[in-house]
Amino acid sequence: MAGQQWDIFCRVVDNYGDAGVCWRLARALAARGQTVRLMIDDATPLSWMAPRGAPGVQVLPWPGPSEADEADEAGDVVIEAFGCDPPEAFVAQMAARALPPVWINLEYLSAEGYVERSHRLPSPQRNGLTKWFFFPGFTAGTGGLLRDSSVPADFNRVAWLTEHDLAPREGERVVSLFCYENPALPALLQSLAASPTLLLLTPGYAQVQVGSAPPGVRLATLPWQDQEGFDHLLAACDINFVRGEDSLVRAIWAGAPMVWQAYPQQDGAHFAKVQALLAQWSAPPDVARLWQAWNGWPEMAWPGLPDRRPWAAAQQTWRTRLLAQDDLATQLIAFASGKARSQG
């Protein structure tokens, strides 16, 4: 589908993850020869995520192109990210095309069993169009993960940290913290204090919650990073604590030991998401206990930090397995191309 027009609709709900995923997808599609319009209701996060933009990607405010725009016809492929519902006027344009666009609802990332069952299912619409559900995921029966090469093979972590005035001292490990509100933070700080640690605090909840640290933990506050800078940050650290969808995937590609915090939900629905992900990559038992405690498992004592060597080995094994699968952008292009041929 070289040179096809892709329209991505995105609503920024909270925490910037929606914008982050949609921008990475737009950039990945454009890098594969597609032309992309990203319609987003709040482009503010892109000012620091992607300050230089990307060739082949046009950012438009929601609801998208105006009627006066000569290029206002719906694209060949329309992606609504996370069930955001494209504007009715635009859907009407989709239905008016001689060859209807391939309409894809890109869902949230999960390791739960319903993902494989629901991936690529059609949803016929009243206007005659069909919406297809597309699920990213961690297995061959899913749509795969977003992947690019923003971290070069010869990346020098010490040089990057030094360039950003974050050089570790002799014998000091480097740990990044990107989190939601988390009552387990005091326990984590005490565990980190057992070995000399430089703790890098990302903007937001991490910096708000960690005002001081015990002896043995040196704090450094970070500014907002663009996406390439964030990828480099994760690649430069010995351990990464991350949250949400986009940062989970980036931490996997970074390859260092990691701990993921799911978005906390009052009904405990996030426990199932964490447990499914742990089971999917066969996490070592001590790593699984750490993830569970970090995610607020009921009545669970803080387990401390696992031995880093087997933790790192398990992380690398998982990463290698995921790298063998086709990435999300590649799968989307193949899927859309197949549906377009069948419609034509």
Instruction: Give catalytic residues, as residue numbers.
Output: 18, 245
**Distance of alpha carbon 127 from alpha carbon 110, whole angstroms:** 30
**Distance of alpha carbon 122 from alpha carbon 328, whole angstroms:** 18
**Distance of alpha carbon 22 from alpha carbon 104, whole angstroms:** 13
> Residues 6 or more apart from 32 whose CB is under 8 A from it?
329, 330, 333
For helices 328-343 and 17-31, the axis angle rounded to 10 degrees is 70
> Residues 6 or more apart from 156 whose CB is under 8 A from it?
none
**Distance of alpha carbon 225 from alpha carbon 211, whole angstroms:** 21
Residue 36: φ, ψ to 5°: -130, 135
For helices 285-294 and 308-323, the axis angle rounded to 10 degrees is 90
Task: State the pairing for strand pair 57-61/77-81.
Answer: unpaired
Residue 138: φ, ψ to 5°: -110, 5
**Distance of alpha carbon 75 from alpha carbon 142, whole angstroms:** 25
